[in-house]
Amino acid sequence: MIFDVLTLFPEMFDIFSYSIIKRARDNNLIRLNIYNIRDFTTNKHRKVDDYPYGGGAGMVMQAEPIYNTVDYVKNIYGYKPYTILMSPKGEVFNQNISKELSNINHVMLICGHYEGIDERIMPLIDREISIGDFVLTGGEIACMAIIDSVSRLIPGVLSSNESFEDESFYSGLLEYPQYTRPEEFRGMKVPDVLLSGHHENIRKWRRYESLKITYKRRPDLLKKIDLSNEDMKMLEDIKNRKKEK
């Protein structure tokens, strides 16, 4: 999969020179190309912003440098990649969107900055995405989160499907508790079921714990997934136990 990133701060993406994403890049599972928007300005000062028409605080990114950068990318490939704008006005990113994007072979992400971007770039945009209802200095951190999330779903990036299929949000639920050695630490013991070697009992325990923690912390998620008959019984037990306390 190819990620093309348009940004004013390419050095921020050095974070992808480490860990899982670095390994995926080394193995040619993903390609990450970073383009500095300032390199595509037409003025000697590499200016990319100006005062907003109508007045107001802050500066607005100009449309021309972004169009020039996109044209450069289009000339490389012969087409415009699926283009995403990091924007607080966009749909809120979640695991389902991550899955959708992982099935697109080539994605271009544009990172905004300052008070916004000239609205005339919108003909270039296929989708606007936000990572939450809060304010960031620019789109770079949001862009990194999306690249990281999507990359994990690309076959071969992680060691096995279990590495992401059991994680929080992949199945629509929060993840069950995890334990490792030693069996007892400062008086806290690993649940006996995880030491039993009984795979079906372990599966049921993990599902029950996922349902329990989701019910407690993010009950809204339960309305968005299809619950099996087994899930419904577990959830009923969880609710009854809560009432008894």
Binding site residues for S-adenosyl-L-methionine, as ranges?
112, 131-136
Instruction: Let me know if residue 159 belongs to a domain.
Output: no
- pLDDT at position 113 is 87
Residue among 74, 73, 71, 46 nearest 61 (CA): 46
Residue 210, domain CATH: 1.10.1270.20
Q: pLDDT by residue (tens digit) across 157-171?
A: 997 654 666 566 667
Instruction: Let me know if residue 177 belongs to a domain.
Output: yes
Helix extents (H) in the chain = 19-26, 63-77, 95-102, 140-151, 162-165, 192-195, 199-217, 229-244
Q: What total of structural domains would you count in the chain?
A: 2
Same structural domain for residues 126 and 14?
yes
Instruction: Let me know if residue 64 belongs to a domain.
Output: yes
Residue 244: band (very low, low, confident or very high) from pLDDT cuts 50, 70, 90? confident
Residue 237, token pair as written in the block: 């037990």
Residue 15, domain CATH: 3.40.1280.10
Instruction: Label residue 4 exposed, middle or buried (CB < 10 Å: 0-12, 13-18, 19+).
Output: buried
Same structural domain for residues 68 and 142?
yes
- pLDDT at position 162 is 47
Residue among 92, 103, 82 nearest 153 (CA): 103
Share of the chain above pLDDT 70, in %: 96
Give 75-125 as a DSSP string. HHHTSPPEEEEEEEEEEEP-HHHHHHHHT-SEEEEEE--TT-B-GGGGGG-
Alpha carbon distance 68, 194 (integer Å): 57
Same structural domain for residues 116 and 37?
yes
Instruction: Let me know if residue 112 belongs to a domain.
Output: yes
Q: What is the mean pLDDT of residues 138-151?
A: 97
> Mean pLDDT for the chain?
93
Q: Is 181 helix (H, G, I), strand (E, B) or coil?
A: coil
- pLDDT at position 172 is 87
Share of the chain above pLDDT 90, in %: 86
Let me know: does 129 contact 97? Beta carbons within 8 Å: yes
Whole-prediction pTM value? 0.85
Q: pLDDT by residue (tens digit) across 53-99?
A: 998 888 999 999 999 999 999 999 999 999 999 999 999 999 999 99
Same structural domain for residues 11 and 100?
yes
Same structural domain for residues 43 and 142?
yes
Binding site residues, as ranges?
112, 131-136
Q: pLDDT by residue (tens digit) across 199-209?
A: 999 999 999 99
Domain that includes residue 34, residue range: 2-151
Alpha carbon distance 226, 212 (integer Å): 16
Render the burial of 107-146: b for 16+ CB within 10 Å, e for the rest: bbbbbbbbebbbeebeebbebebbbeeeebebbbebbbbb
Q: What is the mean pLDDT of residues 165-190?
A: 85
